[in-house]
Structure 1
Amino acid sequence: MASLPSATTKPTFARFDATKPSTTPQTLIEAIKRDGGVIVENFISQQLTEQIKADLKPHFDTDTPDKSGFFPVTTQRATGLFNISDACVELGCNPLYIDVANAFCSSTFTRWVRDERVTTSAKPIISSTVAFRVNPGGDQQVLHRDDE
């Protein structure tokens, strides 16, 4: 029986290159199930990266510091990314991303409609988007989950 990792075990993630045919949704799904995450290199082009940075820059530049203190003053935010950047839409429509998201976030349930059982499946919908720009002087975050 395999032993569970201890609290001092450093997490490791498999690395994949999105440009290689061997990087399929199924290989990523299997690695995520095994390791809890993956690193996918070359997932988007340098050109798309630069376009996203250019599209979001004015929104980062006009962001006001978080009054609650939750975010450090060195962190700037942009929200509603699909509304302000076609490049972000392109990123969100990446087929590899969609296939992996569908595998983990889809749900299937059965309900009664009158006297008939009906099974319905629902795929995930992106309803909220946010980007962060952490400027020099900010603290590096440790690896964490936002749902904990």
Structure 2
Amino acid sequence: MTHVQPDADLEHVVAILERDGAVIVEGFADPDTLAGLRADLEPGLEAAAYSESGYDGQRTKRLSSLFQRSAHMSPVVTQPLYLGSARRLLQQPTHMWIGKVRMEVTPSIQISFTQAIRIDPGQGRQPLHRDDAMHLWRHPGPPCRLQLMLAMTDFTAANGATLVIPGSQHWDDERAPAYAEAIPAVMPAGSALLWQGGVYHGGGANTTDAPRFSLSVALDLGNLRQEENQYLAVPRETVQTLPDEVQRLLGWERCPPGLGQVETQDPMLLLEQTQQELATRPRGANPLT
């Protein structure tokens, strides 16, 4: 798998993602962010129960609602290579006709999924899968998701590094994955694996005596339902403390041409006004509502 540094050229990273479907960014998170995330999330993971299903891992602990649990998530989701690549890959213009007017529309992107993951000793390999299967996405075709796995501890082939089949986003839906085709995303703590939703992957087996700790975030097209309901996972009071860009990524934005509106308005306005105030506010132009 190709490794790049955090100052790599965005066009180069996008080209790798288009070719291989996955890339590792070393030094993705700075030491302070990494330490803050560990301090915020490790107690919750320690208290969490193991998963009951074999798919999620019966020696694996998972913790969601990460933007509610840690104030250190914003630098992760806005890291330039991650957010920039997601915008380039996912926000592709399309068009529609409104009467005799041909309109070009570019969808937004949104945070769909957040999860901290601890793979403990004795956990076996996870079944290989595509994360965009959540939306019943068909392949080959344009991507709908770009996901990251941030290594909070070193990822090794022995401790459960994520297994990835490079290039598998190009496969059709009849070809099944095999472990023999997968390679482990070996990387030091603070690095991140970025991969398209159509790439086959899965957690590796942890044959060591120490846990493997990571967190994952997925950015999806704004016209798809979020995998994790961010409106319930992150209270409005917490959203109001976050940067404007992160508020919008959490779904507090109208996806063109008009998805997610409140009183036909951009939901960002609801962070500062009441719904009654929105209802009496002059409407913006929207030909579809």
- CA apart distance, 1:76: 0.7
- Is the Cα–Cα contact under 8 Å of residues 51 and 59 in structure 2 kept in the other structure? no
Q: What TM-score does the superposition give when structure 1 sets the normalisation length?
A: 0.77
Alignment of 1:10-29 (within 5 A): 13-18=1-6, 20=7, 23-29=8-14
Q: Is 1:51 aligned to residue 72 of structure 2?
A: no
Q: Is 1:99 aligned to residue 84 of structure 2?
A: yes
Alignment of 1:97-136 (within 5 A): 97-136=82-121
Distance 1:36 1:24 in 2: 17
Distance 1:62 1:85 in 2: 16
Unaligned runs of 5+ in 1: 1-12
- CA apart distance, 1:120: 0.5
Distance 1:86 1:73 in 2: 29
- Is the Cα–Cα contact under 8 Å of residues 59 and 77 in structure 1 kept in the other structure? no
Which amino acid counterpart does residue 32 of structure 1 have in structure 2? L
Q: What TM-score does the superposition give when structure 2 sets the normalisation length?
A: 0.42
- CA apart distance, 1:75: 0.7
Distance 1:72 1:127 in 2: 21
- Is the Cα–Cα contact under 8 Å of residues 102 and 124 in structure 1 kept in the other structure? yes
Aligned residues with identical type, % of pairs: 24
- How many residues of Structure 1 are paired with residues of Structure 2 in the alignment? 133
Distance 1:56 1:70 in 2: 22
Give the corresponding residue for 1:142: 163
Higher helix share: 1
- CA apart distance, 1:41: 0.8
- CA apart distance, 1:47: 1.8
